[in-house]
Amino acid sequence: MNVKYKIKNISSLKKRFLVLKSGLIKYKKSNLRHILTKKSSKRRKKLKKRSILSKNNSYLINKYIYYK
């Protein structure tokens, strides 16, 4: 009897990344939690914006988000 195993997702990746219809992956930038006084308002504004992963990195993420 052959048993095929379902590869498990990595749950932390499901929570941190959003896969778009086009296949691109969006993520939230870091460094916006504390010690914000030394960061300029321009920098904080840029950090709020979600950005898109490069193709090299998105390949690695897609590898672990199979069934989302």
In the chain, what are the domains?
Answer: 11-64 (4.10.410)
Kindly tell me if the per-residue pLDDT of 57 is higher than 70: yes
Dihedral in degrees, nearest 10, Cα atoms 33, 34, 39, 40: 60
**Contact criterion met (CB below 8 Å) for 48 and 30:** no
Angle subtended at Cα 58 by Cα 54 and Cα 60, rounded to the nearest 5 degrees: 130
Q: What mean pLDDT do residues 25-40 have?
A: 95
Of the candidates 66, 31, 60, the residue with the CA atom closest to the CA atom of residue 46:
31
Question: Whose structure tokens read 């006084």?
Answer: 37
Confidence bin at 1 (pLDDT 50/70/90) = low
Measure the CA–CA gap between 25 and 27, rounded to whole angstroms: 7
